Amino acid sequence: MGVLLLMTDPTDTRDTGPRLGTPLWAFLAGVSVIGFTALVAALFRIDPAQLADLARTPLFWMLAVLVVLGELRPVMVSSATSVGGTYPSTMFTFAVLLHFGLPSAVLMQAVAVVMNGVVTRKAWHRVVFNVGQSTLALTAAAVVLGIFGIVPTPALPWVPSGGDLVPIALSGVAYFVTRATLVCGAVALHERRSVIRVLRSTVGPQSLVYTALLGLAPLVVVVMSHSPGLVPLFVAPLAAVYFTATLSMRRDHQAMHDELTGLPNRKMLIVSTEEALAEAREGERVGLFLLDLDRFKEVNDTMGHPVGDRLLQMVAHRLLHSVRPGDVVARLGGDEFAVLLPSIRDAHAAREVAARLRAALTEPVRLEGMTFDLDGSVGIALFPDHAPDFELLMQRADVAMYMAKEARTGVELYQPDKDRNSPERLHLLGDLRRAVDNGELRLHYQPKVGLATGAVHGVEALVRWQHPVLGMIPPAEFIPLAEQSYLMRQITEFVIEAALEQAARWWHTGLQIQVSVNISARDLLDSALPEQLEVGLARYSLPPEAIQLEVTERILMGEQAYTHDTIKALATLGVPLALDDFGTGYSSLIRLQRLAIAEVKIDASFVSRMADSEDDERIVRSIVDLVRSLGLRSVAEGVESDDAALRLAEMGCDVAQGWLFCEPMAPSDATHWLREHLNPDPGYGYRAAEAAHTA
């Protein structure tokens, strides 16, 4: 507690002065004014003649040098960098107080603090405060000595004896308590933490060092009075204290901080969060953010891990300088970071902090001659609104973060109704692992029918789970679970294999019908996908057009989709692609031209609302017109009424799919349906139906 740092990063030398009129500003100003008043009063008590005589002695300059040198580098014994460390100068300053009196001690201390500020480039308000609080601490110690009748001067120096242990001990306690109270009070106001919490985290370890330094000061005085030339020998025990404390601090720092970025690690985050939860006041919230970088793996894969490491260091620096004093930024591993807000007003304020973090991340980064555009997804969980302890806060911040990724909103607050991680769902995930191995998954098929002719243009394969206890489970219940685990790849492999096998049965019995399979964007970029399709098509003697892959519109968002080797391999193989759920994403429609897309499927949410919403009808019409202009086939999903089919046919939509025509069917039922409908009556089409309806 030698000086006040009042900054998050001890290597940052920017002026982080308090705003005028804030409680911190008032506290610093008050301590500085009172401290300088005490300093001026003490200096007025100096007899110039006595001071001149003292300045002619080698001992004076020896002590001055030791005080200045001892003020340059603290003994760090606490990870609370904002409180600072314990300066070795304390021992010599206290010895000067005991031997020559208060004026000489505060003069040497003030000069040393100013020189420390100049060398380390501290902001002026911190230098002024440090001069004030150190002066007040020395004054408190001098008052205690004065109570016992000990008032030394340069002309009448005091040398303690064995009977003076009580006044020396009490003056040392006064010195330590004053400095601890003033520094920790400023830190508590700066970081919006309780004074008790700051004292508890710093006073314990620092009191041991202060005890050693202040306890040696009387011995320094005795040596000063008898053999001044031996005073420099006290540097040896100081070096031992410094070396021991440094080793201890280094081990503590390594255990509680990330090696790459220097940020707190998960262990320290847990400790800080538990302290914040324990000290949260009534009506006060504690916020925990989980932040994950988007597309960071691409940087590692393209530029190598050294560049990725430097990028993480830059991200850590940006996050550290985007939070408030007292907030904790931690790295949990990889490209995942956490931010603890020990005190936050409400969810709106938490969102503002999260938005500031993302804004700092999105500034372009230039490394190795390349510019990287970063982005991240932030999940927010609040105490006590969402969880009562660290583990649940972390879990729910993680859920919110994945919500932000899925919705591409950037920032999401935890919402219980969207949390799929209930115990029942986790149990279901365990059952799903067994279902993949036990053959409980089934494919059902839903036809796609031409609106103009009624011709069948293919079928979509839809996976179902025949649970031995719960019965048939729809994909909406288990696919999101699979996507968050390694099972999704196994399910995709099963669906493709089963679809190829069924397509072979139809093609080789005269039903040459195309089977569409839904795959994720991650599956589409899997280098094993083209090989699986090529081998499967060859094994079942099928042409490439017998199978079609459906991917969501999100694939348009990433540049990988236009350059990835897997996409090129699929194009070479001749397997067509369809764009599913079109209109629900944020992509540029014109980018459709850059992918080998054969078919665009209009999302069912727009189709179902056409009858009630002119806006949705205009959206559908615009998509149909755009798709036609690009020479692609348009498919409307979720068609459940004659009115919707007639509207779509009038717009010029090519194909429709929905319960109006047929619900998803098991393979045997689908085979029977296809045999009946593969060659429909030419008058079946909905344009003909519309004409008849109009007539």
- 304, amino acid identity: G
Residue 690 to residue 695: CA distance in whole angstroms: 9
- Closest CA relative to residue 133, chosen from 25, 36, 45, 24: 36
Q: Which residue has the higher pLDDT, 375 or 550?
A: 550
pLDDT, average across residues 543-550: 92
Residues 80-102: what's their mean pLDDT? Answer: 79
pLDDT at 74 over 60: yes
**pLDDT-wise least confident of 329-338, 608-617, 666-675:** 608-617
Q: Tell me which residue has tokens 């007899």.
A: 47
End-to-end CA distance of the chain: 93
Architecture of the CATH domain 448-462+491-694 = Alpha-Beta Barrel (3.20)
Q: Is the pLDDT at 249 greater than 80, yes or no?
A: no
Query: pLDDT value at position 9?
Result: 34
What would the mean pLDDT of 478-494 be, rounded to a whole number? 78
When pLDDT is cut at 50, 70 and 90, the band that residue 670 belongs to is very high
- Average pLDDT estimate for 600-611: 86
Residue carrying the six token digits 């139809």 = 506
Contact 186, 4 (CB under 8 A): yes
Band the pLDDT of 5: cuts 50, 70, 90: very low
Q: Are 388 and 409 in contact (CB under 8 A)?
A: no
Whether residue 78 is predicted with pLDDT greater than 90 in this model: the reply is no
Question: For the segment 581-597, what is each residue's pLDDT rounded down to a tens digit?
Answer: 776 544 445 555 566 68
Across 610-630, average pLDDT: 86
Give Cβ neighbours of residue 11 (< 8 Å, ≥ 6 apart).
Answer: none
pLDDT at residue 84 greater than cutoff 80: no
Beta-carbon contacts of 671 under 8 Å, excluding residues fewer than 6 positions away, are 505, 506, 511
Tell me which H or E stretch contains 99.
Answer: helix 89-100
The predicted pLDDT at position 692 comes to 40
Flag the least confident range among 226-230, 418-422, 487-491, 523-527. 418-422
What does the alpha-carbon distance between residue 32 and residue 17 come to, in Å, rounded to a whole number? 14
Among 127-136, 304-313, 442-451, 572-581, where is mean pLDDT lowest? 304-313
C-beta neighbour count of 303 within 10 angstroms: 16
Q: What is the DSSP letter of 237?
A: H
- Rounded to the nearest 5 degrees, what angle is found at the Cα of 530, between the Cα atoms of 526 and 534? 155
Largest CA distance in the chain: 124
Element (H, E) at 278: helix 266-279
> Which contacts (CB < 8 Å, 24+ apart) does range 470-474 have?
none
SS3 string, 117-135, reads HHHHCCCHHHHHHHHHHHH
Give the C-alpha separation, 262 to 94, whole Å: 35
- Amino acid 691: pLDDT: 46
CATH architecture of the domain formed by 266-418: 2-Layer Sandwich (3.30)
Q: What is the mean pLDDT of the chain?
A: 81
Q: Do domains 266-418 and 448-462+491-694 have the same CATH topology?
A: no
Per-residue pLDDT, 694: 46
Q: What is the pLDDT of residue 14?
A: 39
Element (H, E) at 344: strand 336-344
pLDDT at residue 211, rounded to an integer: 83
d(CA 585, CA 642): 28
Instruction: Report whether 133 contacts 183 (CB < 8 A).
Output: yes
Residue 438's H or E segment, with its range, is: helix 423-438
pLDDT (mean) for 80-95: 73
pLDDT of residue 418 exceeding 80, the answer is no
Amino acid at 157: P
**Structural contact between residues 113 and 15, judged by C-beta atoms closer than 8 angstroms:** no
**30 vs 483 pLDDT, higher one:** 30
Percent of the chain at pLDDT > 90 equals 24
Mean pLDDT, residues 323-340: 87
Kindly tell me if the per-residue pLDDT of 48 is higher than 60.
yes
Which pLDDT score is estimated for 603? 85
Question: Residue range 225-252: average pLDDT?
Answer: 77
- What does pTM read for this prediction? 0.49
Decide if 202 contacts 83 (C-beta within 8 A).
Answer: yes
For residue 29, give the H/E element and its range. helix 23-44
Alpha helices in 324-440 (DSSP H): 347-361, 390-407, 423-438
* pLDDT higher than threshold 90 for residue 500: yes
Q: Which has the minimum average pLDDT: 11-20, 97-106, 343-352? A: 11-20
Report whether pLDDT(297) > 50.
yes
- Is pLDDT at 168 greater than 90 in this prediction? yes
More confident residue, 211 or 665: 665
Between CA 75 and CA 321 the distance in angstroms is: 26
At residue 688, does pLDDT exceed 70?
no
| Gyration radius from the chain CA atoms | 37
Domain ranges of the chain: 23-250, 266-418, 448-462+491-694
**Between 305-320 and 347-361, two packed helices, what is the crossing angle to 10 degrees?**
140
